[in-house]
């Protein structure tokens, strides 16, 4: 192994997850992740953030399962550090707390 987990976390610390927050007509909240083009919706920002984190985890697992294919795709190469960062999280709550929400414009 090239590095331990703590070293990898340090290397990837500048890769942050930011999501645009949109209030829908039905007052639900949609979050659109800037870095990976993933979207989630919930009744509150908290539920939308949890859904978004679950979607990110699923995407990272699928990406990792076929890493040699996805890491070479031109539109997904820049996802690699984010995928690695997600795989280092111990649990979903850790990822949820790292998603920074920003106001979006409807």
Instruction: Quick: pLDDT tens for 22-79.
Output: 999 999 999 999 999 999 999 999 999 999 999 999 999 999 999 999 988 999 989 9
Q: Number of folded domains in the chain?
A: 1
- Indicate the pLDDT class of residue 85, thresholds 50, 70 and 90: very high
Give residue 41's pLDDT.
Answer: 98
Q: What is the CATH number of the domain that holds 68?
A: 3.30.160.620
pTM of the model: 0.90
| Residue that wins the pLDDT comparison between 50 and 8 | 50
Instruction: Note the residue count of the chain.
Output: 106
Domain boundaries, position 40: 5-103
| 57: number of Cβ within 10 Å | 16
Rounded to an integer, the average pLDDT of 6-23 is 94
Task: Calculate ∠ Cα 101-20-10, nearest 5°.
Answer: 50
Distance CA 19, CA 30 (A): 9
The continuous run of DSSP H or E covering 33 comes out as strand 29-33
Give residue 106's pLDDT.
Answer: 66
């Amino acid at each position: 192994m090239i590095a331990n987990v703590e070293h990898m976390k340090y290397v990837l610390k500048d890769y942050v997850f930011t999501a645009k927050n949109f209030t829908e007509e039905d007052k639900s909240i949609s979050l659109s992740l800037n870095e990976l083009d993933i979207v989630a919706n919930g009744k509150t920002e908290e539920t939308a953030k949890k859904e978004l984190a679950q979607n990110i985890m699923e995407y990272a697992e699928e990406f990792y399962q076929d890493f040699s294919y996805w890491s070479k795709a031109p539109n997904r190469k820049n996802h690699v550090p984010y995928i690695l960062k997600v795989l280092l999280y111990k649990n979903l709550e850790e990822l949820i707390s790292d998603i920074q929400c920003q106001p979006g414009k409807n």
